[in-house]
Amino acid sequence: MPRICFNFLGASPTRAAILVALAFSALLAAQTASAQPLTLTSGPYVIVADENVGNYRVIVHQSPERVIIGTLTYAVQVHERETDASVPDAIVKVYATPSEHGVRQVAPALNSPADREYYVGRLEMEEKGVWAIDVVVEHPELGEDTLTLATEVFERARGGANLVLGTILWIFVSIAFVGATFYLVRKSKRAKTDLERIRNRAQ
């Protein structure tokens, strides 16, 4: 902390304000980046199933890896079992059924023209506990088959990474403003002292 204050004391008021603004912007950018939607290329997806069911090879990616109450995303790859060729025109649905209590969830998993390989579906997991996940794949030529797996949903922890980052951000900005204020007060007193010396000499 003293080192940060020293850096501000050695800077002009304008430079101190710029440093505060840059630090604030950088930390805000880091916090915003952590909240961006997950993707297969940047997000922490994990493969939870890679199995042959009927005429298909089905690969299931899950995000987040540790499931908590809230949004659960699945990205499903569908391949023809014999040729291992991607099947871009299947109908894919993901069902989540609680083992104890809660409402059964269903989400269509859709692909996009930009990326036909991945069928992405999002579920809202509202209760903690073990859930059965059914990935249903249907195609007019290859038929309909279901891959079943299980996942455990945990209760959302209080605080979390965003709270910690927000606290660090608040502490850093507070130190910055205290340092800038201390510098301005000290500068003002020094200017006042110099002015009094000049007046005394003039008299």
- What are the pLDDT digits (tens) for 79-104? 999 999 999 999 999 999 998 877 89
The closest alpha carbon to 114, from 37, 36, 41, 65, belongs to 41
**pLDDT, position 75:** 96
Res. 38 pLDDT band, cuts 50 70 90 = very low
- The per-residue DSSP string of 142-168 comes to TEEEEEEEEEEEBPPPSS-HHHHHHHH
More confident residue, 202 or 45: 45
Q: Report domain extents, the chain.
A: 2-34+159-189, 46-153
What is the three-state SS of 96-140?
EEECCCCCCEEEEEEEECCEEEEEEEEEEECCCEEEEEEEEEEEC
List the beta bridge partners of residue 137: 92, 145
- Using one digit for the tens of pLDDT, what is the confidence trace for 139-182? 999 999 999 999 999 998 765 555 556 657 667 666 765 566 66
126: exposed, middle or buried (Cβ count in 10 Å: 0-12, 13-18, 19+):
middle
pTM above 0.75, yes or no: no
**pLDDT, position 150:** 95
CA–CA gap between residue 72 and residue 123 (Å, rounded): 5
Contact yes or no for 62/43 (Cβ under 8 A):
no
Res. 193 pLDDT band, cuts 50 70 90 = confident
For residue 23, the number of C-alpha atoms closer than 13 Å in the C-beta half-sphere is 18
Q: Please give the CATH number for the structural domain made up of 46-153.
A: 2.60.40.3340
Q: What tokens were used for 196?
A: 């009094």
**pLDDT, position 50:** 97
The closest alpha carbon to 160, from 31, 49, 24, belongs to 31
Q: What is the mean pLDDT of the chain?
A: 78
**pLDDT, position 124:** 93
CA–CA gap between residue 183 and residue 7 (Å, rounded): 10
CA–CA gap between residue 63 and residue 91 (Å, rounded): 21
* Sheet of 105-112, strand order: 46-53, 56-63, 70-80, 115-125, 105-112, 91-98, 129-139, 143-153
Res. 18 pLDDT band, cuts 50 70 90 = low
* β-bridge pairing 105-112 and 46-53: unpaired
Residue 64: phi and psi, rounded to 5, are: -80, 170
